[in-house]
Amino acid sequence: MRRLAVTTLATLFALGTVSAFGEDAVKSLEPQPARWTSPAETAQAPLDYDFADALAAATAPETSTGAEEAETAPAAEEASEAPAAPPPLPFHCIEGYSGGPITPMAYLCNTENKDVTPDGVGLPSAAYTFVNLGTKEMHVVSFSQTFLERFEFGYAFQHLDTGSLHDDLRDAGLNMGERYVGLHHFNFRAMLLEENSFDLPLPAVTAGVHFKFNEEMDSIDRSLGGAFTNIGYSDDFGIDYTLTATKMFPKLAAGRPLILTGGLRLSRAAQLGLLGFGDDYKATFEGSVACMPLDQLCLAYEYRMKNNPYHKINGLVEEEHDWHAFSANWIVNDRVTITGLYGMFGNIANTREDSVLGLQVKYEF
């Protein structure tokens, strides 16, 4: 399953890159109308290329010509006096940075809008995510802020109810001491390469540093007499390093936008860090395919390879499996998105969770 997912994502990315050199892709690099709004607004003067502008151009209705252009000119002039905000994309990952529910994208959230914030500071984004893991559940509150269209600071707090893990340990005569786990994520990401730089169909490339701190794992390990230490637990904090590339192909999916993402992660986290951190860093792959069949609907598949730093405790802590997730994302308006998630996460500590359900509401100020 892992080899199939990696191969599929890599093949799609390669095919998209080849197609980007075709006539349609070359046209997509020309200056585009500024925002994803009405035909009248598409008559405004073009701005510099960025993700929001390209997506606006790819999804905006075609403008009329001749007499119809004359009719829409007054509306265009009125629209130029009150610029509309770009669509609130991308979404928030459950770790507090921009992307899909479980993996990052190279695009940043809520970047600078020069018509609104001429000082170069983007506006903040916030999200709440609920994830039902079957025998466990997780609540996530996340925030992000972008500066100068290139730098993103993000924070997320994950609150995990360990559910059946706590109950099974208790039944085995062991006491975790804590039923709930709190994990803090502090994220910094920088866009190293803007999409279509140097007038070439290049992906956006973003690097990230993600500091994580687990509030309870030291206490849980002590309560269990060092059981987690015996299987590889080392610290209650750790740092992930990510490198992510994302490319949008405006007309690749039957004339609709297709967004391909692939990236690498260096980490020593167990279950994102919810079960602490091991000793050794391992490199893993992650990626996604997203399409927009409608202007207000984004469908996506994500794949995330897992690190698996611990040995097993049969029946209590099993080997981690790679994560797969499918999401449907509704763009409600220029500030709000609602995301529904179905995931196959494999072993989460003591149980296999292959029918994960999640819901996220994200708001851009």
Domain holding 245: CATH number? Answer: 2.40.160.40
Residue 322: give the domain boundaries.
91-364
Do 77 and 108 sit in the same domain of this protein? no
Helices marked H in 107-248 — which ranges?
Answer: 164-171, 217-223, 227-230
In a domain, 2, yes or no: no
Q: What 3-state class would DSSP assign to 252?
A: strand
In a domain, 28, yes or no: no
CB atoms under 10 Å from CB of 251, counted, come to: 16
Q: What is the pLDDT of residue 197?
A: 92
Q: What is the pLDDT of residue 19?
A: 44
- CA nearest 179: which of 140, 137, 134? 137
In a domain, 336, yes or no: yes
The end-to-end CA distance of the chain, in Å, is 40
In a domain, 20, yes or no: no
Q: Model pTM?
A: 0.79
Q: Which residues contact 134 (CB under 8 A, 6 or more apart)?
A: 348, 351, 353, 355, 356
Cα separation of 102 and 47, whole Å?
Answer: 32
Do 152 and 245 sit in the same domain of this protein? yes
Sign of CA dihedral 100, 253, 192, 110: negative
Number of domains into which the chain is organized: 2
Cα separation of 261 and 325, whole Å?
Answer: 14
Q: What is the pLDDT of residue 175?
A: 86
Do 128 and 195 sit in the same domain of this protein? yes
Do 80 and 97 sit in the same domain of this protein? no
Cα separation of 71 and 263, whole Å?
Answer: 47
Cα separation of 316 and 217, whole Å?
Answer: 15
Do 74 and 109 sit in the same domain of this protein? no
- pLDDT tens per residue across span 289-340: 999 999 899 999 999 999 889 998 888 889 999 999 999 999 999 889 999 9
Say if CB 129 and CB 140 are below 8 A apart: yes
Q: What is the pLDDT of residue 111?
A: 77
Q: What is the pLDDT of residue 168?
A: 87
In a domain, 6, yes or no: no
Q: What is the pLDDT of residue 144?
A: 95
In a domain, 203, yes or no: yes
Do 123 and 202 sit in the same domain of this protein? yes
- In the predicted model, residues of the chain with pLDDT beneath 70 are 1-54, 56-86, 112-121
Do 254 and 139 sit in the same domain of this protein? yes
Q: What is the pLDDT of residue 177?
A: 86
The token duo for 324 is 């797969």
In a domain, 332, yes or no: yes
Cα separation of 226 and 150, whole Å?
Answer: 43
Residue with structure tokens 């993600």? 210
